[in-house]
Amino acid sequence: MDIIQLLPDHVANQIAAGEVIQRPASAVKEMLENALDAGSTEITLFIKDAGRTLLQVVDNGCGMSQKDLEMCFERHATSKIKNANDLFNIQSMGFRGEAMASIAAIAHVEVNSKLTENQLGSHLIIEGSKIKTHKECSSANGTSIKVKNLFYNVPARRNFLKSDQVEMRHIMKEFTRIALANPKIKMQISHNNNELTHLISSNFRQRIVNIIGDKRNEALVPIEEETTLVKVSGFVGKPESAKRTRGEQYFFVNSRFIKSYQLHHAVNKAFEEVIPDNYFPSYFINLKIDPKLIDVNIHPTKTEIKFEDEKAIYAIIRATVKRSLGAYNIAPSLDFSQEIAFENNFLEKEIKQPEIKVDSTYNPFETQSYYNLDPKVELIEKDYVQTTLSEDFGSNHEMGALSQIGNYFILVSNQDSLLLIHQRRAHKRILFEYFKSILSKQKGQSQQLLFPKKINLSKNELESINNMRPNLNALGFVFEDSDNSLLFKGIPPECQEENLQTVIEDLVEKTKESEELELNNREKIAKTLATSLAISKIKKLADEEMRSLKQELLKCETPSVCPSGKRTMINLRTTELEKYF
């Protein structure tokens, strides 16, 4: 019996929607890109309920004829390409013809569109891929698309949407990427009838400043280089503006935002000696390259592309950024006669294949300690730590010796045991449980600052902190909004004024890493603060500090591991030490 059959179009469109339209931000991206391809100079985005109720894009582009308006919702119908060869010469943002068909399959869509030369426009209503209304109407030049009740017929997908704050953060991310890539386009966005951003036509630098804030203008260093392979332009942030949070790293290839680990690594290498570890430089870099030398058809969202010669572009970007830093007396001057990115014979050099040494005896399926420790040392069990260790090394027992090893570990000994404590991890565990306790009681202490301290943040970062405001207030942070920044008047006693910027940036970064922050908000905040405020790995401690650290650790609910799950201490009895001799 034959069992293979063709799927109905509306089912195929819903399946395609699962790849292309993952959340409201995905629909926003596709509609904004269509508006750009239509030659618009003004684009307005209206949103209600973070896109659940309404997404509307209004543009003044070329518009569509009555027939084209129907065709744009057909699957694989596109005006951008006509044959396979066109895939390697793509100049437009969209080209597959899947986006609008996918949106129409999972939402109620209403469109008004009018060609500039026509007197009347067209009005179309489509629900679940089925056309309900299509007629002539009076309309302004361009196109207005309303997407209502997204995922109304796919309730499981709708239930997977996050909170309004998270969904709006994703929408703003897509809006910002497109706005930065197209500074000449007037763009604005409103949410629940409140205007969030209004961007006028400007140059690239002014567009960056309008989005990230006026105070960052002086921190922008221009970069520019043109080779036969690629033209590089844009700006990087001065080293002192580097932050512990991601979010201001943008690559645009032919006005299309892309993600590329390799190119990101090239910029980081250029900053390698001028910013601390775990800090991220800001950059806004445009690449102009022949479309024949890239492939943008490798990912449904078109945010990843393939370069024909990525190694050469890597070297050019690294050298260009490094030269700009040197030219502005930010980094040591460079001898570009030796910079491989600009050697004439760069592409002709023979590249040696690296030799890889393989351990033929390695077996990844062998049982190992969870913490990857020496197999001779057994993992400390929680019950053992809370009973035996407290008996051996508790505050009511006399210690034989207490010292530091390399200003890194604390060594505690008595008659028949040695306790080795990792001082930073131990401190993280103590602070973590302390902050968790404070948050559960909602009664933290605050020390007032003699002079309020201002922390500059982007709009998205301010929103993240404001979402955490109740818990931060409970911990002892006292602050208020002040012109795209936060003005701190009080901080917890455990926090020092000089590391306040780092603490706040760490909190923002953890928010970005976990969209589910609201589900376990207190624990994640406590973990982030503990990591930020714990003592450094290498720090000289006085005897009393070591004693206090040991005692507080043994009082913890789970003293054997830090909040990240890494081991805090090892207890060795004399019988175990004998194994090493």
Q: Please classify residue 362 by burial: count the beta carbons closer than 10 Å to its beta carbon, then call 0-12 exposed, 13-18 middle and 19+ buried.
A: exposed
**pLDDT attached to residue 518:** 46
The model's pLDDT over 229-280, given as tens digits with 9 standing for 90+, comes to 999 999 999 988 888 878 789 999 999 999 999 999 999 999 987 888 788 8
Backbone torsions φ then ψ of 188, nearest 5 degrees = -145, 155
Q: Please classify residue 335 by burial: count the beta carbons closer than 10 Å to its beta carbon, then call 0-12 exposed, 13-18 middle and 19+ buried.
A: exposed
What the block records as the tokens of 177 is 């990427």
Q: Are 380 and 567 in contact (CB under 8 A)?
A: yes
**pLDDT attached to residue 484:** 74
Radius of gyration over every alpha carbon of the chain, rounded to an integer in angstroms: 29
Q: Are 308 and 293 in contact (CB under 8 A)?
A: yes
To the question of pTM greater than 0.75 for the whole model, the response is no
Beta bridge partners of 453: 488
In this structure, which amino acid lies at residue 138? S
**Rounded percentage of the chain residues whose pLDDT exceeds 70:** 79
Q: Are 88 and 94 in contact (CB under 8 A)?
A: no
Beta bridge partners of 125: 110, 133
**pLDDT attached to residue 396:** 42
Task: Report the range of poorest mean pLDDT among 56-65, 78-87, 495-504.
Answer: 78-87
What the block records as the tokens of 243 is 């932050």
C-alpha of 27 from chain center: 20
Distance CA 81, CA 79 (A): 6
Distance CA 75, CA 231 (A): 36
Q: Are 427 and 549 in contact (CB under 8 A)?
A: yes
Which domains are assigned to the chain? 9-199 (3.30.565.10), 204-347 (3.30.230.10), 377-581 (3.30.1540.20)
What the block records as the tokens of 305 is 């592309």
How many CB atoms neighbour CB 171 within 10 A? 25
Residue 395: HSE in the Cβ half-sphere, 13 Å Cα cutoff: 11
Q: Are 509 and 527 in contact (CB under 8 A)?
A: no
Nearest partner of 30 among 160, 171, 162, judged by Cα: 171
How many CB atoms neighbour CB 521 within 10 A? 17
Q: Are 53 and 70 in contact (CB under 8 A)?
A: no
Nearest partner of 281 among 236, 315, 221, judged by Cα: 236
**483-511 CB burial, b ≥16 within 10 A, e <16:** ebbbebebbbebbeeeebbbbbbbbbbbb
Distance CA 319, CA 346 (A): 13
- Assign 3-state DSSP to the chain and report helix, strand, coil percentages, each to 5: 40, 25, 40
**pLDDT attached to residue 242:** 87
The model's pLDDT over 305-354, given as tens digits with 9 standing for 90+, comes to 889 899 999 999 999 999 998 887 554 434 443 444 444 444 444 555 55
Q: Are 140 and 186 in contact (CB under 8 A)?
A: no
What the block records as the tokens of 383 is 């019950």
Please say if the pLDDT value at position 27 is more than 60: yes
The vertex-580 CA angle with 391 and 384, nearest 5°, equals: 25
What the block records as the tokens of 278 is 């775990």
What is the pLDDT of the chain when averaged over all its residues? 81
What the block records as the tokens of 407 is 């200003």
Q: Are 503 and 472 in contact (CB under 8 A)?
A: no
Distance CA 190, CA 48 (A): 8
Task: Report the range of poorest mean pLDDT among 135-149, 204-218, 380-394, 431-445.
Answer: 380-394
Residue 250: HSE in the Cβ half-sphere, 13 Å Cα cutoff: 28
Please say if the pLDDT value at position 382 is more than 70: no
How would you classify the pairing of strands 249-253 and 256-258? Answer: antiparallel
Query: What's 385's DSSP letter?
Result: I
Nearest partner of 529 among 448, 458, 419, 444, judged by Cα: 444
Please say if the pLDDT value at position 413 is more than 90: no
Q: Are 413 and 545 in contact (CB under 8 A)?
A: no
**pLDDT attached to residue 470:** 87
Residue found by looking up tokens 């990912």 in the block: 299
Map residue 80 onto helix, strand or coil.
Answer: coil
The model's pLDDT over 174-188, given as tens digits with 9 standing for 90+, comes to 999 999 999 999 999
The model's pLDDT over 105-162, given as tens digits with 9 standing for 90+, comes to 889 999 999 998 888 999 999 998 888 999 999 889 999 999 999 998 888 888 888 8
Give the pLDDT band (50/70/90) at residue 464: confident
**pLDDT attached to residue 178:** 94
Map residue 130 onto helix, strand or coil.
Answer: strand
Please state the rounded mean pLDDT for residues 211-235: 89
Nearest partner of 157 among 193, 107, 110, 101, judged by Cα: 107
